[in-house]
Structure 1
Amino acid sequence: MTLLQLFILAVVQGITEFLPISSSAHLVLLHELGGPTGDALALDVAVHLGSIGAVVIYFWADVRAALAGLGHLARGERDRYESRLAFGLIIATIPAVLVGAVLALTGWVDLLRNTAIIGWTMIIFGVLLWVAHRYSPEARPATEWRLRDAVIMGLWQAVALIPGVSRSGITMTSARFLGFERHAAARVAMLMSIPITLATGALLVMKVLRSPVSDELLLNASIAAVFSFIAAYLAVAVMMKLLNRVSFTPYVIYRIILGVVLLVIVYS
């Protein structure tokens, strides 16, 4: 794979992973347009790890609070904010892990990766994001995230295993339906992405390590991870700043346009 191809793959992953426009949909389309390659899985792992690293750095204060919360939970201190945050992230991750395991074991995960499904999910869940933003109150800050919210958002996050739904998009949508402010909805969604993305990355790493990894592939993966880290950090930073003044509408419009284009391609 050329440096330009690595750059495109990494930048697309980095930008789309945490915007509500579905990174999996874009990666599937990239691989289809570029044709199947033997190193596609390894590169997907690299760009996922690079992008999640960017989120950990950007939200380090919250990540540090969650890590501290694990210690508080171990000591039985459940009433502190850090404890609630850590416990909530654990609970919110469980549904996606269980559903992901079922999809992987049954082979359904591969059946869902087709352009028609991506097109429809891009449109449907884009409209749902607009409805949540348009009609839900913006009354709750991120510090009010409770166990009930974690359960509801975790169940919605499991739906994002269908390509095109967008993990960040569906969690932001559910947070807005629960009355969180747009900035708070994005912040909670970003924090929820960390454990599930790390879990997914760990599984993909095990798959990659089943076969020998060449020095060239290792170099390409490292380059892709760096590009993805930079792109993801910039994308998250820009989105979090813009959400103070701009709604989710631009992302909704993009989702609908891309979904329509995909459906035209499929059904024409």
Structure 2
Amino acid sequence: MPLFHLLLVAIIQGLTEFLPVSSSGHLILLPALSGMEDQGQTIDVAVHVGTLFAVVLYFWADVKVAAGGLTRLARGKVDTPGAFLALCLVIATGPVILVGLILSVTGLNDMMRSMAVIGWTMLIFGIVLYWADQKGPSTRDAGGWTLKHALIMGLWQAVALIPGTSRSGITITGARFLGYKREDAAKLSMLMSIPTIIASGSLLGLEVAADANWQLLVDGAIAALFAFVAALAALVLMMRLLKSVSFTPYVIYRIVLGVILLMLAYS
């Protein structure tokens, strides 16, 4: 694959994975609007690995706590903050795995990969994000996450399997409706992305393992590296901006892009 194409895919994935604008939607649109070849599942796995390393590095302190608690959770004990956080993440990940398997088996996931679907989800869920951000109270922080809220946010996350919805955008929306402050809503959303990316990346990895070749692995490594850099930059920028700026700029971007895509889809 040409280096420029690899860099473009990596940067798009890295920048949009954690911003509430839908990475999957942008990656689907890339070949549709540019005429480039679809990058294929191997590169998809690679850029997901890159973004995974970025979020793990940025939230390393929380990841270390959850990882330590996971061993206690595996023994059936939820007696530490780490074990409770790990349990919350497991509960939040369950719905997206279940719904994802259903969509994959039925073939509905392929049917939804259209410009019209992405246009509508960009527009509709952009407006919903704005509503939640403006009307939702700001009384809770990430340390007060509950099992009930983890399940509710997990159900919101499952909706993100519709292309264009945005995994981070929809989980942040759910968290804001529940009353979490902007930074804390984003933090919980990012932590939820870790097991979700691991699950989706593992599934894709199994599908492409038999077809991988040396050149494809090299391409994947390059894509993963640039996706990591782009994702880390996007994370740092968003978390800093949330101290003084709302989600409105992302909402405006979603609405404008959604309208353009709908015009192209129905023209």
Residue 123, structure 1, aligned to residue 106, structure 2: no
For residue 210 of structure 2, give the secondary structure of its aligned residue in structure 1: coil
| Structure 1 residue 64 displacement after superposition | 0.6
Q: Distance in 2 between matches of 1:164 and 1:89?
A: 23
The one-letter code of the counterpart of 1:17 is: E
Instruction: Tell me the equivalent position of 1:188.
Output: 188
| Structure 1 residue 39 displacement after superposition | 5.0
| Structure 1 residue 238 displacement after superposition | 0.7
Cα deviation code 1:186-233 (max 9, x no counterpart): 00000000001110001111111132x222211111100000000000
| Unmatched runs of 5 consecutive residues or more in structure 1 | none
| Structure 1 residue 31 displacement after superposition | 2.5
- Contact 1:39/1:217, CA 8 A, preserved across alignment: no
The one-letter code of the counterpart of 1:82 is: G
- Contact 1:21/1:166, CA 8 A, preserved across alignment: yes
Q: Distance in 2 between matches of 1:21 and 1:151?
A: 23
Instruction: Tell me the equivalent position of 2:150.
Output: 150
Instruction: Tell me the equivalent position of 1:259.
Output: 258
The one-letter code of the counterpart of 1:88 is: C
Residue 40, structure 1, aligned to residue 40, structure 2: yes
Cα deviation code 1:126-180 (max 9, x no counterpart): 0000000111111111000010000100011000000000000000000000000
- Contact 1:52/1:194, CA 8 A, preserved across alignment: yes
| Structure 1 residue 80 displacement after superposition | 2.7
The one-letter code of the counterpart of 1:240 is: M
Q: Distance in 2 between matches of 1:73 and 1:144?
A: 19
| Unmatched runs of 5 consecutive residues or more in structure 2 | none
Q: Distance in 2 between matches of 1:130 and 1:50?
A: 29
Range that drifts further, 66-75 or 18-27? 66-75
Q: Distance in 2 between matches of 1:127 and 1:245?
A: 21
| Structure 1 residue 78 displacement after superposition | 2.0
Instruction: Tell me the equivalent position of 1:71.
Output: 71
Residue 174, structure 1, aligned to residue 174, structure 2: yes
Q: Structure 1 residues 125 and 72, CA, compared in 2 at 3 Å: closer, same or farther?
A: same
- Contact 1:81/1:143, CA 8 A, preserved across alignment: no
Matches within 5 A, 1:209-224: 209-211=209-211, 213-224=212-223
Instruction: Tell me the equivalent position of 1:239.
Output: 238
| Structure 1 residue 71 displacement after superposition | 2.5
| Structure 1 residue 116 displacement after superposition | 0.2
Q: Distance in 2 between matches of 1:37 and 1:164?
A: 20
The one-letter code of the counterpart of 1:254 is: Y
Q: Distance in 2 between matches of 1:148 and 1:79?
A: 18
The one-letter code of the counterpart of 2:259 is: V
| Structure 1 residue 7 displacement after superposition | 0.8
| Structure 1 residue 52 displacement after superposition | 1.1
- TM-score, with normalisation over the residues of structure 1? 0.96
Q: Distance in 2 between matches of 1:266 and 1:214?
A: 36
| Structure 1 residue 35 displacement after superposition | 4.3
| Structure 1 residue 75 displacement after superposition | 4.8
Residue 230, structure 1, aligned to residue 229, structure 2: yes
- Contact 2:31/2:38, CA 8 A, preserved across alignment: no
Instruction: Tell me the equivalent position of 1:164.
Output: 164
Q: Distance in 2 between matches of 1:122 and 1:72?
A: 40
- Contact 2:10/2:223, CA 8 A, preserved across alignment: yes
Cα deviation code 1:51-110 (max 9, x no counterpart): 111001110111111111112324554243212110000000000000000000011110
The one-letter code of the counterpart of 2:261 is: L
Q: Distance in 2 between matches of 1:195 and 1:266?
A: 34
- TM-score, with normalisation over the residues of structure 2? 0.97
For residue 161 of structure 1, give the secondary structure of its aligned residue in structure 2: coil
